[in-house]
Amino acid sequence: MREEDLDWDVYHIIAMNGHITVDELVAISNQPETVIADSVVRLERRFLIARTGAGVRVLSVQESIARCQLQYCMDDRLVMENGVIKVRPGSERDSR
């Protein structure tokens, strides 16, 4: 199975369950844990899902756009944690 097809299947499993652990994804998909872990990393890197504690969940369109903007368009001092935009710990403030 191509990675893109697997990622699509994993994404839909997550979407149907709301919040799901990697172990549950492995059981439902009948794929090895390493394959599912790699898929989760790819989906997270593409701003489609987010890790929440031991599990993962699908991001809303708004969350996906905000995370993408924070990653690529905004100041490096900003980070999103649990849906809250924060100043990265240890970063210095501009002296304007």
Domain map of the chain by residue range? 3-86
Please compute the mean of the pLDDT values over residues 29-46 and round it to a whole number: 96
Question: Could you tell me how many residues make up the chain?
Answer: 96
Q: Is residue 14 pLDDT above 60, yes or no? A: yes
Whose structure tokens read 């001092």? 77
Q: Is residue 28 pLDDT above 90, yes or no? A: yes
Top-level CATH class of 3-86? mainly alpha
Q: Is residue 74 pLDDT above 80, yes or no? A: no
Please compute the mean of the pLDDT values over residues 19-47 and round it to a whole number: 96
Confidence of residue 95 (pLDDT cuts 50, 70, 90): very low
Provide the Cα torsion 19, 14, 69, 83; round to 10°.
Answer: 0
3-state helix, strand, coil in the chain (%, to 5): 50, 20, 30
